[in-house]
């Protein structure tokens, strides 16, 4: 049930974007052990002047392949988050040639009562999920 929201610089092809989303989904499956069709991903393309992503003094070099990812999810353990970060960077590097230094992630926690998958119903609260 994680919702992944990607911010990237405009210019990726449809195939490149699909490959990136597939790679990220594999990381979700590995780290969070969710069902295959538990896939919610949104990509926002931005002009270069709309994204300022520095390094908090860590000396991290960024390129035009930068990916900023917000992961909206029910609480996950520190181990699950660490595994997700590792798998995400590996998958994006292997499938898309995106360097780990170009991957920035923020987790936004919520609980199951915060989700509706449609029809104006909170399915976790009704027992449908």
Residues marked as catalytic: 2
SS3 of the chain: the string is: CCEEEEEEECCCCHHHHHHHHHHHHHHHHHHHCCCCCCCEEEEEEECHHHCCCCCCCCCCCCCCCCEEEEEEECCCCHHHHHHHHHHHHHHHHHHHCCCHHHEEEEEEECCHHHCCCECCECHHHHCCC
CA–CA dist 47, 67 (Å, integer):
13
């Amino acid at each position: 049930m994680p919702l992944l929201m990607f911010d990237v610089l405009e210019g990726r092809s449809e195939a490149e974007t699909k490959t990136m989303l597939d790679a990220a989904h594999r990381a979700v499956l590995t780290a969070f052990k969710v069902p295959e069709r538990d896939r919610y991903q949104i990509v926002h393309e931005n002009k270069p002047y709309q994204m300022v992503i520095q390094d908090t003094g860590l000396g991290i070099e960024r390129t035009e392949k930068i990916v900023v990812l917000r992961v909206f999810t029910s609480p996950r353990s520190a181990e699950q988050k660490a595994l997700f970060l590792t798998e995400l960077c590996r998958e994006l590097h292997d499938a898309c040639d995106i360097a780990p230094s170009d991957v920035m992630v923020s987790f936004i926690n919520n609980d199951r009562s915060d989700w509706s998958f449609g029809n104006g119903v909170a399915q976790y609260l009704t027992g449908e999920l």
